[in-house]
């Protein structure tokens, strides 16, 4: 009967769609927003002459941005955190950035 087939098709669609909605406890809109935030943070890093964008990893979960990787100085870390905070949708910024030890001058 036609209604049974429609119901079965709807159930199959829900079963397929549900993992996408429930992935990591995020809704689809949160996932998109987090991805957008990550992209915007990376873009602002690339366009900044102080921040070494290629050495900084950006991860966003529910608006909280975590920066990891290596920077050349405390100033670079501070600038990266400040830049990330300027992005719309960022609720907080956490840093696990490590400062690379400088190469001592030759004597």
Contact 90, 61 (CB under 8 A): no
Does the pLDDT value for residue 10 go beyond 90? no
Tokens in use for 76? 């670079």
Can you tell me whether residue 60 is helix, strand or coil? strand
pLDDT at 82: 96
Least confident residue range of 14-23, 46-55, 91-100: 14-23
Q: What percent of the chain has pLDDT over 70?
A: 65
Identify the band that residue 14 occupies on the pLDDT scale cut at 50, 70 and 90: low
Q: Cite the beta strand spans of 1-107 per DSSP E.
A: 56-61, 64-71, 92-95, 98-99
Does the pLDDT value for residue 107 go beyond 80? no
């Amino acid at each position: 009967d036609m209604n049974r087939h429609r119901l079965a098709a709807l159930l199959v669609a829900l079963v397929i769609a549900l993992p996408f909605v429930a992935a990591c406890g995020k809704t689809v809109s949160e996932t998109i927003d987090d991805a957008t935030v990550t992209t915007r943070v990376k873009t602002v890093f690339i366009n900044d002459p102080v921040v070494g964008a290629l050495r900084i990893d950006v991860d966003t979960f529910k608006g909280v941005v975590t920066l990891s990787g290596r920077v050349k100085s405390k100033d670079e870390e501070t600038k990266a955190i400040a830049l990330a905070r300027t992005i719309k949708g960022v609720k907080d910024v956490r840093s696990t950035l490590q400062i690379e030890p400088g190469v001592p001058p030759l004597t």
